[in-house]
Amino acid sequence: MTTNPERIPVIIGVGQINDRTNDPATAMDPIQLMAAALRLADADAGGGWLARLDSLNVVEQIAFAELNPVVDAVARAIGADPAHRFQTASPNGDSPTKLLNEAANRIGAGEARVVAVVGAEALRAAAQRLAAGADSEATLAERNVMRARHVQRAPSYRRSYGLTAPVDVYPLYENATRAAWGQTLAEGQAESGAIWSLFSQVAAENPAAWLRAAKSAEEITTASPGNRPIAFPYTKLMVANSSVNQGAGFIVTSLFEARAAGIAEERLIYVGHGAGARETEDVLARDRFDRSASMAVSLEQTLSSNALSIDQIDHVELYSCFPCIPKMARRIIGWPVEKPASVVGGLTFGGGPIGNYMSHAVAAMVERLRGTGETGLLFGNGGFATHNHSVIVSNRPIAGAAFPKDFDCQPLAEARRLPVPPVDEDYAGPGRIESYTVLFDREGAVRQGVILARNPAGARFLARILPENTLDLKVLMAGNVEPVSMAGMGARAADGLLDWIMTGAVQKSVAN
């Protein structure tokens, strides 16, 4: 640990804002939300910090694509003129966590004295304006192009089987991990419900959360008219809620500057080391779906590089876009299911502003830690379970921390990765299920089942189960047999895609 206070990074101010107006004409856009959040962070730090910014770092927003890039507009809105301005290339969920670690490095290297990180999304406002016809045709077209870039960038093979958006892909991890852990469907859903129910209780006590009603585990996991199925086994209350207008930001400076400004020691939050690693962008080129080497490396290296054990961590924020992520993360670090895995309320209840949720987590963690002498772990995940970044923060100096510190742990993740099976897009024939899901429409009706399978040579291939094949869909969702590792057949249909056919014995066992 460095003893030079000019090289010790601390968080001094945080700000969050929820814009709940139903009037599309007055709803704040992401630039306004970001500026408002930073003004709140500045006030939280005692004021006068925005004019001193050396570095402004913004998480990309997608709600108002025509405004991008927004970093210069945010600087003007807050009256700042930082020499270093940066906007992320995409709105990954780990972005704020990574930007916090980069801010600590800039402070530790003497490259900056005051750094701000901010982000916001206004997808609720964008939808309201679209419904009200408040935007020009050109603006709407550009916004739709931006959304398409983020939602429909899947390769054609994967897209042809419906695996397009994150909500289609994360269930592959959910079902594969549940099977690998030896859980029944009921046991896996019970764990998800327990974690999400605790999230809802945290959100109910958090004034900055978007949804503040505590829910039982059964309410969360049971499909109902108000909680429609999304992608098996997830319901609406188990996935990120992106229909929000939220902004959050935070200010990082050196211990020297904080003390010179007279900020009380109990309000200072020290930044520890972080660690990041990623999976390949190509989902079908992952080594497996029952674990993530990059997630494990990110979490384990963050703890070890700060010379901390999980017993020394008082609070965590384990990213919660979908249940499989905090379920995998908590097993890696040994966090019990009985303890809340969020200080915000999770992306369902706290709010899921695309890439900026972890800025809300930083803010909530800072507020939780002040005056306590406690320590927190922040873990962000982004893309299609692709990007992972963790960092430690504490209300006391972190003995193992010194900056700048390289946080890229990709080589360690690569060393853990098992051989990746090839993908055979032209294959038809027998195989065994590696993972699966069932996709639903907005009315809760089945769109199709999706099978990720391995052929006898070990290659991956995709197949589907059409809605009219109710018996095979029942095999996937009934819960009285485990579909993972089940044998079946991929038969070429008239449209060129593969239809998955279960064995008669399996069908009979479920039907009975």
> Measured in whole angstroms, how far is the alpha carbon of residue 310 from the centre of its chain?
21
Phi/psi of residue 309, nearest 5 degrees: -105, 165
Both tokens assigned to 99:
């930007």
Q: Would the pLDDT of 153 be above 70?
A: no
Q: Report residue 152's pLDDT band, with 50, 70 and 90 as the boundaries.
A: very low
Residue pLDDT, tens place only, 426-472: 999 999 999 999 999 999 999 999 999 999 999 999 999 999 999 99
- Mean pLDDT value across the chain: 94
Domain locations in the chain?
Answer: 5-126+242-416, 429-511
Q: Would the pLDDT of 14 be above 60?
A: yes
3-state secondary structure 442-467: CCCCEEEEEEEEECCCCCEEEEEECC
3-state secondary structure 331-397: HHHCCCCCCCCCCCCHHHHHCCCHHHHHHHHHHHHHHHHCCCCCEEEEEEEECCCCEEEEEEEECCC
Q: Would the pLDDT of 138 be above 50?
A: no
Q: Would the pLDDT of 133 be above 90?
A: no
Residue pLDDT, tens place only, 290-345: 999 999 999 999 999 999 999 999 999 999 999 999 999 999 999 999 999 999 99
Q: Would the pLDDT of 172 be above 90?
A: yes
Q: Would the pLDDT of 143 be above 80?
A: no
Is the preceding omega at residue 411 within 30 degrees of 0, hence cis? no
**More confidently predicted of 504 and 364:** 364
CA distances from 433 to 124, 424, 470, 474, 507 (A): 38, 15, 18, 15, 15
Counting residues of the chain whose pLDDT is more than 70, the rounded percentage is 94
The kind and range of the H/E element at 108 are: helix 95-108
Query: Average pLDDT in the 18-47 region?
Result: 97
The kind and range of the H/E element at 434 are: strand 429-440
Q: Report residue 144's pLDDT band, with 50, 70 and 90 as the boundaries.
A: very low
- In the CATH hierarchy, which fold is given to the domain comprising 429-511? OB fold (Dihydrolipoamide Acetyltransferase, E2P) (2.40.50)
Q: Would the pLDDT of 139 be above 70?
A: no
The SS3 of residue 48 is coil
Identify the CA nearest to 253 among candidates 119, 348, 117: 117
Residue pLDDT, tens place only, 383-416: 999 999 999 999 999 998 999 999 999 999 999 9
Q: To 5 degrees, how large is the angle CA 447–CA 450–CA 454?
A: 170
3-state secondary structure 309-337: CHHHCCEEEECCCCCHHHHHHHHHHCCCC
| Partners of residue 11 on adjacent β-strands | 252, 269
DSSP notation for 218-262? HHHHS-BTTB-EEETTEEGGGS-----EEEEEEEEEEHHHHHHTT
Q: Report residue 511's pLDDT band, with 50, 70 and 90 as the boundaries.
A: low
Residue pLDDT, tens place only, 245-257: 999 999 999 999 9
What is the Cα–Cα distance from 111 to 106, expressed in whole angstroms?
A: 5
CATH homologous superfamily for the domain 5-126+242-416: Thiolase/Chalcone synthase (3.40.47.10)
Q: Would the pLDDT of 260 be above 90?
A: yes
Q: Report residue 150's pLDDT band, with 50, 70 and 90 as the boundaries.
A: very low
